[in-house]
Structure 1
């Protein structure tokens, strides 16, 4: 089973500090490197598999920064870029960086796992906790979630304006802080908020569906 780890950060003026978000993405990439052999080789995605596989390795922060900015359209207010490790068509992982595009001063950093790393998340909750804790500590987001691929989604937006996750991060200034804790089965402080667990990989969507909705 594959998983996606996604974090959103909103702060006024954040679009003037895109280098900082890229550096946080790079630090996270380095932190997870020991846990999957494919994480030692990241490359940009492309329109075709052949083009992607021909792209050079991203070995330094400067190379990551250059790859992000080179793809930027000067007519747009931000940039979105994706990188992959492993086999792009098989068990590879991908990392996404979205800076200010669509939402001003809002940056996204996400990791979409391959099957091998996803299987470890399924069977090793301590590792899932470490992954969330490490990402939240480095990225210092507003909100984040560890989401299983294929988990059922509601047709309407969630009350907390994010996709549901087995483990979620909420900033302590979030208007949803109290309700997020009320449903959680475990809470661990980290960075400027907390990582909250909702049951198990098989039950978290049902638990979060109990979140009160406006009528």
Structure 2
């Protein structure tokens, strides 16, 4: 049972955490994921086109960012680069790291989806007079993105939770605010459970949106079929 003091702390801290989610956690997620999707599509298309030199560069990029911990990447960009004169504010540093990290994972998802599109689709587009790029962007990529949608949305949900790591480089996001409140109240169990609840609420909303999106894509897919 909560005492009156604990209830007051819970009630007082909730709007502070939620506000920080709206002004820190969610903007960080949206900006970083949007950039990650641009990176993912470009990297996936380069590999799909099998451009030798560029493909090797893309594989190296994916190898580095999938093979090292996200937290280490944050430390390298924020703390490490300062040693060679590259000074970044916490938020831009987090955006760069999350974009590059998530872009590497999403690139593999998009690449696999591109390869799942029947080769005849590419040939049919070119036979219809479309250029290679027109065929890719008008025919192949839309089909691939429909296939990749569930996995990409799962990546988005994971990123919302992973942004909590940015508190380690003092990004003003939800977990960072929680740490500050804990430092004043010393109620770590209550407050960390509370911030976990907010993450759960956000993830549940996104999961519902994912379900709606998948149903609409399936409907349009059957309609086109």
| TM-score higher than 0.5 | no
Answer 1 or 2: which has greater helix percent.
2
TM-score (norm 2): 0.27
Answer 1 or 2: which has greater strand percent.
1
Structure with bigger gyration radius: 2
Q: Which has the higher contact order (CA 8 A, sep 6+)?
A: 2
